[in-house]
Structure 1
Amino acid sequence: MKIKVALITGGYTGEAEVSYKSASFVQSQLDTEKYDVYPITISLASWFHVDDAGVKHPVNREDFSLTVNEHIVKFDVAFIVIHGTPGEDGRLQGYFDMINLPYTSCSALTSALTMNKGYTKAILKDIPNLFVANSVLLFESGRKDGATLVEKQLHLPYFVKPNAGGSSIGMTKVKTLEELPLALDKAFDAENTGKQVLVEEFVTGREFSQGIFRNAGGELIVLPATEVRTTREFFDFEAKYIPGLTEEITPADLSSEQQQRAAQIIKEIYVRLNCKGMVRVDFFLEQETDHFYFIEINTIPGQTAQSFIPQQVRAYGMKESDFYGQLIDAALQKSL
């Protein structure tokens, strides 16, 4: 009997469009001999599945089931590809825990924690060979005094970004103090990002992104790193999703020592945060010091054909279909 997979897509933020593309690619790679895949859209308005005939079927939220042609469909596993809320911040994970439905991502606690960039940095800051940029975490209650606090504690230039956002939405590089208030407003007002803002001192160096996952056998696999080189001021939303603005090199040109050091750091991050499934860690390699600086962790990384993780899976010598199968198998084993 085939495994019934709920492929969860959509979401409540501007990252929904990326999520739809990720879900389409994952579905194209899943083995149809082994899996029955049902794309499920979750939006603020409704939760639903659209069948091959174009008929829309609402999700029964009591047990996350569908009724299709008078037949009740219950799922064996949820494959979550929502970037941002509610699929990456622990909300869906908590719901799935309550109805006892296995899922492919990190737990509710880990997902909620890692969506908060400031809190994540606080937990990771003492990992050997990992560095974190000086930063200030601002809350809505202190919004009017935010610029003054940043000026007192940090040195220009700054990165200003929503503390719980993704895809570089609401992010600004600030070179002068005059630019700071507008950048703070942009980050605070980014849709569904929690009204918290993280301001960090800028780190000059090469930028990398690297995936890691735990396979069905329980082994931690670190994928080859990708180096990101962009013609933009930084790796912003346009650089990520407009072709031609960014060069992505997989595998990245790192020495053997740098590769080993990065792999050890990323494994420690994964274990420290009690991650599950696949995650992606973004970091800088500072030019003058050769130090790895943590940027952020993504627990639901993009899964289009051009996204970092599929690139790295191919560079590792693995087929995407086998990779996604490993994630599903690991999620099912975790539920036993």
Structure 2
Amino acid sequence: MKNIAVLMGGYSSEWEISMKSGGVVSQHLDKTRYRVFPISILKDGWYYTDEQGQKLPVDKNDFSIKIGKEKINFDCCYNTIHGTPGEDGMIQAMLELLSIPQTSCDYYQSAITFNKRDCIAVLKPWSITTGKHFYMDQGEEVDVDRILSHVGLPCFVKANRSGSSFGVSKVYEASQLPDALQVAFDVDDEIIIESFLEGTEVSVGVYQIGDEVIALPPTEIVSENDFFDYEAKYGGKSEEITPARIGTTSTRAVQELSKRIYSILKLKGIARADFIFHNGTPHFIEINTNPGMSEESIIPKQVRAAGRSLQEVLTLVIEDSIKKYQS
């Protein structure tokens, strides 16, 4: 049997959500094929918690653990860390140096996709339709008129390197912009301000097995709140409809676009691309390369809607990650 480490946690405000994602992945992995070891990657340490509740530390020299007299080396790591260090390329680079396969995209692709500004810049030459954007770094002088002349009102202010809607505000009036900037800068020293796009929000899961890139059925997101914020995502304040009610033509279009973006960025494992259908055209918002896998998350629902089990897809992803590494 193969030893699989499920990495969860992280150092960002998303760590608790990641712990839930890791728990769901650990639960659904095929125990007839794998010995599963949930590994917490937290600021207070990297460890596996045994059945007695004892925290057994990860040896960072070779990313192994020791249970009694048995040393456990891992055949693959399933990466469910949201935010740093598992979504920005740091863990990926370490595991690459240690010759341990992992299921998320490689370190370079992770660094690009984790940075919303960089990801948009990479995709622009490929004619990927997006909204309008304005970038700011902490310490820059705030010129409200200049910002709003570019993106208009309403607009969104976002932390550039964050997920789960931490550091995100919707701004309706110029007077609200300074406070929204501060909320974003409390999370990251880089921010992105983007134009508001009226339309239907959809999210598409994508993964690759061998040479085939597969798009899952899109999910339509209808938030009870002003936008798809943290409460809407995790507090039941939204309706997530899978498959999305956008018709066959639009469904195929956004699936093909998601697969194209996945391929352009040279991703692997499971990713999730978010779009707004504005004036009938899907506008790219962002892509998440370590999407949520908790019971409330979109990907597990899309897998079921595709007629597959989560265990089946997780097995395919793990085996493909190991095979790619060996080839």
TM-score by length of 2: 0.97
Contact 2:24–2:295, Cα closer than 8 Å, also in 1: yes
Where do residues 116-195 of structure 1 align in structure 2 (5 Å cutoff)?
Answer: 116-128=115-127, 130-142=128-140, 144-145=141-142, 147=144, 149-190=146-187, 193=188, 195=189
Q: 1:274 aligned to 2:266?
A: yes
Cα drift, residue 263 of structure 1: 1.7
CA drift at 1:334: 1.0
| Aligned equivalent of 2:190, options 196, 204, 217 | 196
1:214-229 correspondence runs (5 A): 214-215=208-209, 217-229=210-222
Quick check: 1:328 aligned with 2:318?
A: yes
Match of 1:39 in 2: 38
1:70 CA displacement = 2.0
| C-alpha displacement of 1:139 | 1.3
Tell me how far apart the structure 2 counterparts of residues 268 and 24 of structure 1 sit (CA, whole Å). Answer: 31
Q: 1:91 to 1:229 in 2, by over 3 A?
A: same
- Residue 226 of structure 2 corresponds to 233
Deviations 1:179-215 (A, max 9, x none): 000100110111xx4x100000100001001101012
| Separation in structure 2 between the aligned mates of residue 139 and residue 224 of structure 1, nearest angstrom | 37
Aligned residue in 2 for 1:301: 291
Q: Distance in 1 between matches of 2:225 and 2:130?
A: 23
Aligned letter for 2:244?
A: A
Percent identity, please. Answer: 37
- Which position in structure 1 is the counterpart of 2:204? 210
CA contact (8 A) 2:203 2:272 kept: yes
TM-superposed CA distance for 1:118, in Å, is 1.1
The aligned counterpart of 2:306 is: 316
Query: 1:232-287 deviations in whole A, cap 9, x for unaligned?
Result: 000001110002x111100111222112211221111011101011100000001x
- Whether the 8 Å CA contact 1:127–1:268 is kept in 2: the answer is no
In the alignment, the residues of structure 2 paired with residue 262 and residue 67 of structure 1 have an alpha-carbon distance, to the nearest angstrom, of: 46
Whether the aligned pair in 2 keeps the contact of 1:138 and 1:146 (CA below 8 Å) is no
Give 2:222's aligned amino acid: R
Q: Secondary structure at the match of 1:335?
A: helix
How much does 1:317 deviate?
A: 0.5
Q: Secondary structure at the match of 1:227?
A: strand
Give the Å deviation of 1:154: 2.4
The partner residue of 1:242 within 210, 235, 239 is 235
1:125, 1:259 → 2: CA distance?
22
Which residue in the other structure is 1:67 paired with?
A: 66
What SS does the corresponding residue of 2:118 show, helix, strand or coil? helix
Compute the displacement of 1:148 (Å). 5.0
Give, in angstroms, the shift of residue 126 of structure 1: 4.2
Code of the aligned partner of 1:3 = K
Q: How well do the aligned residues superpose, as a CA RMSD in angstroms?
A: 1.2
Q: Which residue of 2 aligns with 1:255?
A: 247
Q: 1:183 to 1:77 in 2, by over 3 A?
A: same
CA distance in 1, matches of 2:301, 2:92: 27
Inter-partner Cα distance in structure 2 for 1:269 and 1:81: 21
8 Å CA contact 2:84–2:90 kept in 1: the answer is yes
Deviation per CA, 1:95-116, whole angstroms, max 9, x where unpaired?
Answer: 1111111000001000000011
Q: 1:231: Cα distance to partner?
A: 1.0
- Could you tell me which residue of structure 2 aligns to residue 22 of structure 1? 21
How far residue 137 of structure 1 moved from its aligned partner, in angstroms, is 1.1
Deviation of residue 54 (structure 1)? 1.1
SS in 2 for 1:211: strand
Equivalent position SS for 2:51: coil
**1:214 partner SS:** strand
Aligned-partner Cα distance in 2 for 1:83–1:329: 22
TM-fit CA distance, 1:18:
0.6
Number of matched residues?
326
Distance 1:132 1:254 in 2: 19
Q: Is the 8 A contact 2:200 2:276 kept in 1?
A: yes
Q: Which stretches in structure 1 are left out of the alignment for 5+ residues? A: none
- What is the CA–CA distance in structure 2 between the aligned matches of 1:147 and 1:228, rounded to whole Å? 31
Cα distance in 1 for residues equivalent to 2:282 and 2:55 = 48
